[in-house]
Structure 1
């Protein structure tokens, strides 16, 4: 019976030694050099390595966002709202100035809000800038962090789900709901927009979204033209209760509509 001698690579490697290496872009740096068998290995320039890691991380984030946008069937933020940012929001009264400050603060403290699963509710009169600030938060989160964020209207979501029932959609109800649960931040607009009482279909689908995000401790921003006291009836008490946990932030928009006015 033939016996074989197993040689570990570690036993064939020379001890690591420090030496000065030269990077064409960044100049000299302290390198670690080791020999394994007949090959020499030198550690890369730390600046180049950090840049490569950052690039790969950014590309991974972009791929994740593209994949999520594809599953949602559109861009994470619709084209119409791409220009809606904090800087383009015109605060012409004290209420608007306070709302702008609170929304900026929410993004600045996003990691803490994410850890707490803290949601936000923007409620009040139509035309007061709720959608503008909601979209601004989504875009600011994506520009300032590596997280994903999406803006959708409840009516659009329900329409997409209904389209799966007759086979006119390439998606399934499950894939639509899953794509809405996945973003780190979801801005859900036009909740309670219908003048009629919500149907069981609407309440159950909305709860699936809110509860799915609640279980993952992912924050949701809900936008509605209703009074905050009317919102639980429009979205269901179970959904409203999920939003409250984690210390929900409620911002009332109780000034007159600014639509059509110069500078808004």
Structure 2
């Protein structure tokens, strides 16, 4: 049987140093090639340096983050139920029309900076003051923190749940599971839905499943009107660990005549 001999290549130490890139002790050597067309030639190697490995690991990590961010955005776009005019809403392009709204924007900025996944917000006030706009803006900023978010108009959500009863696609359980799992849920326009016992029961299921997780609510109703619309049990659950931000002012969506 043919014997295969493995020869240790000849080597000469040039210098030993501490690599600034990876912090490892590196030996710069000359090594002689033992086979192939370049047999006998001498090459330089840096034995012990991990810079290339660290670079590859960093690139792989950045790619994973990029893919995760893309996946979260696709998830948000697929499941969220909102009007098209809200899709471009950001914190930066919200322009308060009163001091009260400027204060509301600052409080919301603080909420984003201190986001812990547990505290809730209730944005209430008159029509057209930017409650939905700022709620969408919050989800975009929180997603930058690598969190899953969802924006749902409550009236549209209830309609979507009803559609699942005659739809062979996504089921009600699957839809509610998505709502339960996200780090931040926005329930927009509470109180605009048709007042029925079924609607209040579904709202309670959602609120109960979200216990301990951050939820943002928006409504045009005051506390008395909201309590009458969604019942005392749902109102009480909504108020748990919830900061109230009042947003009254001129409807900035209307043009001056």
Gaps (5+ residues) in structure 1? 1-18, 34-40
In structure 2, distance between residues paired with 1:91 and 1:205: 34
**Inter-partner Cα distance in structure 2 for 1:78 and 1:21:** 58
The answer to whether 1:139 aligns with 2:134 is no
TM-score, structure 2 normalization: 0.74
Distance 1:103 1:152 in 2: 19
* CA apart distance, 1:183: 1.6
One of 199, 202, 212 as aligned partner of 1:202? 199
Instruction: Say which SS state the counterpart of residue 170 (structure 1) adopts.
Output: coil
Aligned residue runs from structure 1 range 56-71, under 5 A: 56-67=64-75, 69-70=77-78
**Residue of structure 1 in register with 2:247 after alignment:** 253
Q: Distance in 2 between matches of 1:61 and 1:205?
A: 31
The residue that corresponds to 2:93 in the other structure is 88
> 1:175–1:125: structure 2 CA closer, same or farther, 3 Å change rule?
same
Alpha-carbon deviation of 1:28?
4.6
Partner residue in 1 for 2:10: none
CA deviations on 1:107-142 (whole Å, 9 max, x unpaired) are: 01112xx2xx21110111111111111111111111
**What count of residue pairs does the alignment treat as equivalent?**
219
User: 1:226 aligns to what?
Assistant: 221
Q: CA deviation at 1:219?
A: 0.8
Higher-Rg structure is 2
Q: Are the equivalent residues in 2 in contact too, given 1:76–1:149 (CA < 8 A)? A: no
Q: Report what 2:155 is aligned to.
A: 155
Please name the residue that 2:33 is paired with: none
User: Distance between the aligned counterparts of 1:43 and 1:63, measured in 2?
Assistant: 35
Matches within 5 A, 1:72-83: 72=79, 79-83=84-88
SS at match of 1:30: coil
Q: CA deviation at 1:155?
A: 1.0
Q: In structure 1, what is the Cα distance between the partners aligned to 2:233 and 2:191?
A: 15
Q: 1:32 to 1:96 in 2, by over 3 A?
A: same
- SS of 1:226's equivalent in the other structure is coil
Q: How far apart are 1:252 and its partner, in Å? A: 1.4
Does 2:170 correspond to 1:212?
no
Contact 1:122–1:222 (CA under 8 A) maintained in structure 2: yes
Tell me how far apart the structure 1 counterparts of residues 92 and 72 of structure 2 sit (CA, whole Å): 27
The answer (yes or no) to whether the contact 1:68–1:179 under 8 Å persists in 2 is: no
Go from structure 1 to structure 2 and tell me whether the alpha carbon gap of 1:206 and 1:152 turns closer, same or farther (over 3 Å shift).
Answer: same
Once the two structures are superposed, the pairs formed by residues 95-134 of structure 1 within 5 Å of their partners are 95-111=100-116, 114=117, 117-134=118-135
Superposed displacement of residue 64, structure 1 = 4.8
**Does the C-alpha gap of structure 1 residues 65 and 92 become closer, same or farther in structure 2, counting only changes over 3 Å?**
closer
- By how many angstroms is 1:146 displaced? 0.5
Structure-1 separation of matches of 2:74 and 2:110: 27
Deviation for aligned residue 1:261 = 3.3
